[in-house]
Amino acid sequence: MITQVQSQLHTIRDLLRFAVSQFNKAGLYFGHGSANAYDEAAYLILKSLYLPLDQLESFLDARITTDESNHVLKIIERRIKDRIPAAYLTHEAWLGEYSFYVDERVIIPRSFIAELLQTQLSPWIIDPDVITTALDLCTGSGCLAILMAHSFPNATIDAADISAQALAVAHKNIQNYGLEVRVGLMESNLFSALQKKRYDLIISNPPYVNAESMAQLPQEYRHEPENALASGADGLDATRQILQQAAKHLTGDGILVVEIGHNRAALELAYPGLPFTWLETSAGDEFVFLLQRDQLPRE
């Protein structure tokens, strides 16, 4: 057991070296906020010891108490033995400078749309103040709805999800940011419960993992709700419904922004007549598309 080495680890530097070695030995998968064993080990140690996440160097040679060592080693052991993503161990995930509560009722936030909201979707939205109604479809933890509230100060936002459990997590995050008045939660299978509501802006990070990829997911991802990941044989089931129904829920100059993972080629093949605008993100222009209302299919 990992805890048997406790007496030999005296400083945070010792814990960090040990954790990195154990993570690499176990062949953990990193895709929920950290890119490698070092970053994940540093985060888990600092978070578990209630230390500032940006001040590792200042504490590397600080000695740790027996109780502190025992606590951190138990976290490390759970990460290795059960392959639980770090965010579920700490109940915290970050998008930029914003942190969110998460647990296994929601997927761990990781959306390129968060980057785009930092620039208020410029240049496609010229004046952020004119956005008065917005929708976050498939909101999960509510993270993108909260970012929209900060990016568009005049907007009243609906955050919709099919999962009542996910909405409970979103409610906690919305409360934490004091946005109960501006962000409303709705239990809805995509647009089904939205009736005739229309929005200046609709964003969505829907399920988009295809069947082949679902079958090959690392164990870490299997802690996340399957219905927040899987979207049919080609990963486009949810996106098809969004494209079919979005126009009737947008205002005249409304905009739709959707994240689709690695499905750009499949989507363009399925909809050769749609003039997708692919938005540039830190990982390239393959993952998020934008369409204006008059470019969308009509029922």
| Range(s) of the chain covered by CATH 1.10.8 | 2-90
| Range(s) of the chain covered by CATH 3.40.50.150 | 105-295
Give residue 3's pLDDT.
59
Given the DSSP bridges, would you call strands 288-292 and 98-100 parallel, antiparallel or unpaired?
unpaired
Query: Dihedrals φ, ψ of 181, to 5°?
Result: -75, -35
Whether the CB-CB separation of 136 and 204 falls below 8 Å is answered with yes
Query: What one-character DSSP code corresponds to residue 186?
Result: E
Give residue 140's pLDDT.
97
The angle that helices 12-26 and 66-81 make with each other, rounded to 10 degrees, is: 10
Entry pTM: 0.93
- pLDDT, tens digit only, all 299 positions of the chain: 565 676 688 899 999 999 999 999 999 999 888 899 999 999 999 999 999 999 999 999 999 999 999 999 999 999 999 999 999 999 999 998 999 999 999 999 999 999 999 999 999 999 999 999 999 999 999 999 999 999 999 999 999 999 999 999 999 999 999 999 999 999 999 999 999 999 999 999 999 999 999 999 999 999 999 999 999 999 999 999 999 999 999 999 999 999 999 999 999 999 999 999 999 999 888 999 999 999 998 76
Give residue 61's pLDDT.
95
Give residue 108's pLDDT.
96
> Rounded CA gap, 227 and 249, in Å?
24
* CATH H superfamily, domain 105-295: Vaccinia Virus protein VP39 (3.40.50.150)
Query: What one-character DSSP code corresponds to residue 276?
Result: P
Give residue 280's pLDDT.
94
Domain 2-90 top-level CATH class = mainly alpha
Q: Collapsing DSSP states into helix, strand and coil, what is residue 206?
A: coil
